Amino acid sequence: MTQRTIVVVGGTSGIGLEIAKEVVARGDRVVLTGRDQERAEAIAASIGEGATGLGVDISEPETIAASLASIGEVNGLVLAAIERDANSVREYDITRARRLVTLKLVGYTETVHALLDRLVPTVDTGIVLFGGRAKDAPYPGSTTVATINGGVEGLTHSMALELAPMRVNGLHPGIIGDSPFWADKTAALEGYQSRTPGGKLATMGDIVGATMFLLDNRGVSGISLNVDRGWRLT
């Protein structure tokens, strides 16, 4: 089988890093990005042969094309860069809101735009945009997060139509039970677990598996895949 190259934006930590590791484990090459070049290179080296690290800050869209210039042919793209944010209408922080909207909506779009001449234009090429369940399950302080994740859904549909035969899909995780972010939030996790069918939350492994499915399955494009083990059914 021919070795493919997958770019993982936001691949230096969390779910993005786990995706990058899985890409290499299955025999493909990964280019993982993070804001800091040295950190990205160090993390790529820790994964081993087949991984390359690049410094790319997608919250600064004007710099993206130059930062990605060294990348060659691309067979798949995962946009997993996120920032945690708590913002409400009553106490609205314009600076934080603008940064997050820029990162996810403008930054995601410009990354695809900058790589278009290297993304192989066939149905075998998959693009995965990370959003989140706040798009339809908002919570206090999720004003910006809910808005941009709804925007990711619209962006998924638009790109899937415009970029065909390449496939574009959105992935929207719920609460991830084994994520480091939730490690010290036991009480909150127990509350979410109690409302999840089966009593267990989705895992990072579930998200990685869903990402690989969306990268690989030639029949799937333009969908928004919720990965939450049915949390919103109860």
Please give the full DSSP string across 57-71, using - where no structure is assigned.
-TTSGGGHHHHTTT-
Closest CA to 108 of 40, 165, 155, 173: 155
Residue 218, pLDDT > 80, answer yes
pLDDT band at 34; cut points 50, 70, 90: very high
- What number is the average pLDDT over the span 77-96? 88
Residue 147, pLDDT > 90, answer no
The pair of structure tokens assigned to 98 is: 């603008």
pLDDT at residue 54, rounded to an integer: 98
Chain centroid offset of residue 48 CA: 22
CATH class name, domain 5-227 = alpha beta
pLDDT at residue 146, rounded to an integer: 87
d(CA 200, CA 196): 6
pLDDT at residue 1, rounded to an integer: 62
3-12, 74-83, 179-188: which range is least confident on average?
179-188
Closest CA to 82 of 28, 136, 133, 24: 133
Residue 176, pLDDT > 80, answer yes
The pair of structure tokens assigned to 120 is: 């192989």
Name the pTM for this structure.
0.94
d(CA 6, CA 17): 13
The helix/strand count (H/E) of the chain reads as: 8, 7
What rounded mean pLDDT belongs to the chain?
Answer: 92
- What number is the average pLDDT over the span 39-49? 97
Q: What angle do CA 16, 219, 217 make, to 5 degrees?
A: 35
Strands 29-34 and 76-79: unpaired
> Are 42 and 53 within 8 A, CB to CB?
yes
d(CA 227, CA 174): 6
- What number is the average pLDDT over the span 82-104? 88
Beta bridge partners of 54: 33
d(CA 138, CA 206): 22
pLDDT band at 191; cut points 50, 70, 90: confident
- What number is the average pLDDT over the span 35-58? 97
pLDDT band at 214; cut points 50, 70, 90: very high
Letter for the amino acid at 114? A
